[in-house]
């Protein structure tokens, strides 16, 4: 692309904003290193360094000259192109947040979640909710203060949600779940009463050779078109993606030695995130718009590759020879057996182990509880009981312990409240992309069956990835698909996959 930033005011602004990018780059690298190779005892110095850099970052964002130029630019938006307007929008938002949350508040928040997340890990290990309770109460107090400081129109939760999903409101999330839930329950009930998608599978309990699975992961990434000159694959306790630059994107997975679908689908998930980061227009790199549009849009990319592509029968059939070569024991059965193993449906207490049908019910539960905590309607001491009761209502199961119930996720201990619903939004957007893709590319799955995926990378690049944060997430989705996120597409996709496909698979 020709130079996207030509307006003299924007060029000055980008100059002043570059050190903010550099600090984010350093913080990103520090956090990648902390999760992968840092010796455990380095954690204290690392947190201190990161919080000092965050303070520095806030000062750079609130630099008088930068603030003045951004304010001046806001009255001259009609002279600018979309990219330039995007830069001003993103920076104005950053400035608003930085102003609302002063240094001493940010430091207090960081100190609190630092301790709380450590206590959480210990409490989870010991299955001891009471140990974590006072720390979570402290975090919730701070999160509520954060919402008040940020300001909101209708619900304090709006202020938090907006940090992860620009422009999204509590009522939007409520509407999304209200439209999704009845359909999910209906499909789930039918699938559970049938036996095509099994609740358990013998492969789950089989051990695999970690060295051979590592090689399989690399081969799979290569089949997806991975460029090792611009990407890495490492290992960490929780799989994640770190996009430091369009030419330096790193993903991680975890090998536990049993249940080989777990690392494989974590790999496909992180690949989707990584591809997004790699396909942002290089001309936007190192600017405020050179990143993914939002958590929800980012998650839609990971879910598209993990589920819509990766869990489809065509993909499973295509990669079966590779799996056989590296896993071995799958050779004794046909591809349909592998497909059923990869697509088990079972109400599970643990979110990260749940399937395409139950996953969003887990998210709904968290959304309701955290929204209630922020509104002051749910007390931390009532959480375990509310959690178990909702689990029973939604999934018909009760967690056997706090560790596989209310203590399972790290998010609340980190003060990441408002994050969860973006997971479901990601699934919704992925469903919508499936809808558009099947319409525009009717032979999509025949191509997947040949592992011909270059066209899909390009399609996603042109529709979504290249724009970075130029447009707010909702507008980006409208541009890419013709409409704002609508949950009906996801329901249609799930209905097709779980209710219609089974009878057609024999002859595939």
329-334-354 Cα angle (round to 5): 75
Q: How far is the CB of 273 from Mg ion (least distance, A)?
A: 6
- Whichever of 114 and 302 has its CB closer to Mg ion, that residue is 302
- Whichever of 58 and 269 has its CB closer to Mg ion, that residue is 269
Binding region for Mg ion (CB under 5 A) out of 141-149, 198-206, 295-303, 312-320: 295-303
- Whichever of 330 and 427 has its CB closer to Mg ion, that residue is 427
Q: Specify the residue for token string 């969003």.
A: 360
Helices and strands per DSSP (H, E), number in the chain: 20, 3
Q: How far is the CB of 292 from Mg ion (least distance, A)?
A: 11
**Could you say which residues in the range 161-220 bind Mg ion, by CB under 5 A?**
none
CB-CB contact of 10 with 88 (8 Å): yes
Work out whether the CA dihedral 252, 119, 410, 155 comes out positive or negative. Answer: negative
Work out whether the CA dihedral 465, 471, 476, 479 comes out positive or negative. Answer: negative
Report in angstroms the alpha-carbon separations of 350 from 346, 395, 417.
11, 11, 19
- Whichever of 252 and 302 has its CB closer to Mg ion, that residue is 302
CB-CB contact of 138 with 119 (8 Å): no
Q: What is the side-by-side strand order in the sheet with 231-235?
A: 231-235, 248-253, 241-245
Binding region for Mg ion (CB under 5 A) out of 42-50, 139-147, 253-261, 296-304: 296-304
Structure token digits, residue 90: 């993103």
Residues with a known catalytic role: 270
Among 117, 287, 302, 424, which residue interacts with Mg ion (rule: CB under 5 A)? 302
Q: How far is the CB of 306 from Mg ion (least distance, A)?
A: 9
- Whichever of 298 and 320 has its CB closer to Mg ion, that residue is 298
Structure token digits, residue 191: 């699938």
Sorted by sequence, the CB contacts under 8 Å of residue 120 that are 6+ apart come out as: 132, 135, 136, 407, 410, 412, 413
CA-CA distance, 499 to 356, in Å (whole number)? 13
CA-CA distance, 327 to 257, in Å (whole number)? 11
Sorted by sequence, the CB contacts under 8 Å of residue 448 that are 6+ apart come out as: 309, 312, 314, 315, 318, 456
Question: With CB under 5 A, what is the number of residues at the site for Mg ion?
Answer: 1
- Whichever of 302 and 470 has its CB closer to Mg ion, that residue is 302
CB-CB contact of 499 with 345 (8 Å): no
CB-CB contact of 484 with 474 (8 Å): yes
Work out whether the CA dihedral 148, 150, 151, 154 comes out positive or negative. Answer: negative
Q: How far is the CB of 147 from Mg ion (least distance, A)?
A: 24
Q: How far is the CB of 141 from Mg ion (least distance, A)?
A: 28
Binding region for Mg ion (CB under 5 A) out of 91-99, 151-159, 300-308, 323-331: 300-308
- Whichever of 5 and 240 has its CB closer to Mg ion, that residue is 240
Q: How far is the CB of 256 from Mg ion (least distance, A)?
A: 19
502-304-464 Cα angle (round to 5): 145
CA-CA distance, 241 to 233, in Å (whole number)? 9
- Whichever of 216 and 295 has its CB closer to Mg ion, that residue is 295
Residue of closest CB approach to Mg ion: 302
CB-CB contact of 129 with 402 (8 Å): yes
422 binds Mg ion (CB under 5 A): no
Q: How far is the CB of 240 from Mg ion (least distance, A)?
A: 8
Q: How far is the CB of 259 from Mg ion (least distance, A)?
A: 19
Question: Which residues contact Mg ion (rule: CB under 5 A)?
Answer: 302
């Amino acid at each position: 692309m020709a130079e996207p930033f030509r307006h003299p005011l924007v060029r000055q602004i980008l100059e002043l904003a570059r050190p903010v990018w550099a600090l984010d780059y350093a913080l990103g690298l520090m956090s990648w290193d902390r999760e992968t190779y840092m010796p455990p005892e380095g954690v204290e110095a690392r947190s201190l360094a990161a919080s000092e850099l965050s303070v520095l970052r806030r000062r750079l964002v609130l630099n008088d000259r930068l603030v003045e130029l951004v304010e001046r630019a806001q009255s001259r938006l009609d002279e600018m192109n979309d990219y330039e307007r995007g830069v001003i929008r993103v920076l104005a938002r950053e400035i608003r947040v930085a102003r609302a949350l002063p240094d001493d508040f940010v430091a207090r928040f960081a100190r609190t979640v630092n301790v709380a997340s450590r206590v959480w890990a210990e409490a989870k290990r010991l299955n001891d909710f009471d140990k974590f309770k006072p720390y979570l109460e402290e975090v919730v107090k701070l999160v509520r203060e954060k919402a008040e400081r940020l300001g909101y129109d209708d619900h304090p939760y709006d202020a938090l949600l907006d940090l992860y999903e620009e422009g999204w409101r509590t009522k939007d999330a409520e509407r999304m779940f209200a439209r999704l839930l009845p359909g999910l329950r209906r499909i789930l009930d039918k699938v559970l009463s049938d036996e095509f998608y099994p609740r358990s599978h013998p492969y789950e309990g089989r051990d695999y050779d970690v060295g051979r699975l590592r090689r399989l992961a690399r081969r799979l990434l290569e089949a997806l078109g991975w460029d090792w000159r611009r990407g890495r694959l490492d290992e960490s306790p929780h799989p994640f993606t770190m996009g430091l630059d369009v030419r330096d994107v790193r993903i991680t997975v975890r090998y536990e030695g049993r249940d080989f679908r777990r690392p494989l689908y974590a790999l496909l998930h992180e690949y989707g995130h990584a591809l997004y980061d790699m396909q942002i227009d290089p001309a936007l790199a190192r600017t405020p718009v050179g990143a993914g549009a939002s958590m929800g849009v980012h998650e839609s990319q990971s879910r598209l590759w993990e589920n819509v592509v990766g869990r489809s029968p065509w993909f499973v059939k295509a990669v079966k020879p590779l799996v056989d070569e590296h896993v071995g024991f799958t050779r004794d059965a046909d591809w349909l057996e592998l497909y059923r193993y990869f697509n088990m449906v079972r109400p599970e207490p643990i979110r990260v182990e749940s399937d395409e049908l139950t996953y969003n019910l887990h998210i709904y539960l968290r959304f309701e509880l955290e929204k209630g905590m922020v509104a002051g309607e749910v007390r931390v001491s009532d959480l375990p009981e509310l959690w178990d009761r909702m689990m029973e209502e939604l999934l018909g199961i009760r967690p056997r312990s706090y560790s596989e119930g209310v203590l399972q996720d790290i998010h609340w201990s980190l003060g990441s409240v408002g994050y969860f619903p973006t997971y479901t939004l990601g699934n919704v957007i992925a469903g919508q992309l499936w809808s558009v893709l099947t319409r525009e590319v009717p032979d999509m799955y025949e191509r997947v069956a040949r592992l011909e995926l270059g066209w899909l990378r390009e399609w996603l690049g042109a529709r979504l990835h290249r724009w970075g944060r130029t447009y707010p997430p909702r507008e980006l989705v409208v541009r890419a698909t013709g409409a704002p996120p609508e949950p009906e597409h996801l329901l249609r996709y799930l209905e097709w996959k779980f209710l219609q496909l089974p009878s057609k698979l024999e002859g595939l």
